[in-house]
Amino acid sequence: MKGKDQNTEQVILGAAVEIFQSKGFAGARMQEIADKAGINKALLHYYFRNKQLLFESVFKSALGQLVPEVSKIFNTDLSISEKVTQFVAHYIPFVNQNRYLPVFIIQELNNNPEFSDQFFSNHKLPQTEKFKNQIQEAVEKGEIRKLDPDQFILDLFAVVVFPFVGRPLMKTLLQKDDEGFDDLIQSRIEHVTTMLLNSIKK
């Protein structure tokens, strides 16, 4: 393992991230990745053997960026409203910096069911049990309105992730230009936190 070695591998990976995330597995071209990395196509195969394996590296690192922090937040001893606040405040800026990430993950999981099943049997997603129980207890104690914890977690991810995934559509629907939509994203942390907490009040 030489220094140069590591370096080229990282350069390739960086280029592959960009291409795969913006075009998807099927739409990506090895030639385009090589061009972006400033190296030759043959080198891609030297380092990653084939397109599928290169893709899997990218996919794994994509999901790896999202998973650990969710785990951490969900499994602390914070209150529900603090967890919601932290989750929103952390993920909206993060996804905003990595806009292609959610569409990429979602589209590959949907387009390749076999890969997706196999992937999830080999990689762990965050544990949500603790957070679910916490919500259930709050319901039973009458601290929040009666609701299904699973539904609330769906809502949480929905309002955080969807604006990025549905950006082209919603941008047009709401008649925003890029700047206008970015403004919306900026104000969204506060809006979403308030809206989620309001939605579970009694």
Partner DNA sequence: GTCTATAGCCAGATAGAC
Partner DNA sequence: GTCTATCTGGCTATAGAC
Residue closer to DNA by CB (options 42, 169) is: 42
The CA distances from residue 193 to 63, 156, 167, 197, in Å, are 24, 9, 20, 6
Q: CA 19 to CA 145: how far, in whole Å? A: 45
**DSSP letter (8 states) at residue 142:** T
Is the CB of residue 69 less than 8 Å from the CB of residue 92?
no
Residue closer to DNA by CB (options 8, 86) is: 8
Cβ 7 to its own copies shortest distance, Å: 30
Q: Where are the beta strands (DSSP E) in 42-194?
A: none
Cβ 147 to its own copies shortest distance, Å: 7
Query: Could you say whether residue 123 binds DNA (CB under 7 A)?
Result: no
* End-to-end Cα spacing for the chain: 60
Is the CB of residue 90 less than 8 Å from the CB of residue 69?
yes
The CA distances from residue 87 to 20, 68, 135, 146, 167, in Å, are 27, 12, 15, 22, 20
Among DNA, its own copies, none, residue 89 binds (CB under 5-8 Å by kind): none
- Select from 38-46, 74-82, 108-116, 183-191 the region that touches DNA (CB under 7 A): 38-46
Residue closer to DNA by CB (options 8, 134) is: 8
Which residues are at the interface with its own copies (CB under 8 A)? 22-27, 100, 103, 105-107, 109-111, 113, 116, 120, 125-126, 128, 145, 147-148, 150-151, 153-155, 157-159, 161-163, 165-170, 172-176, 184, 187-188, 191-192, 195-196, 198-201
Q: CA 135 to CA 87: how far, in whole Å? A: 15
Closest C-alpha among 21, 35, 17 to residue 107: 21
Among DNA, its own copies, none, residue 2 binds (CB under 5-8 Å by kind): DNA
Name which position in 10, 14, 46, 133 contacts DNA (CB under 7 A): 46
Build a one-symbol-per-residue string for 3-32: x at contacts with DNA by CB under 7 A, - elsewhere.
-xx--x-------------------xxxx-
Cβ 106 to its own copies shortest distance, Å: 6
Range 48-107, binding DNA (CB under 7 A): 49-52
Q: Within 10 Å of residue 17's Cβ, how many Cβ atoms?
A: 21
Task: Catalog residues that contact DNA under the rule CB under 7 A.
Answer: 2, 4-5, 8, 28-31, 39-43, 45-46, 49-52
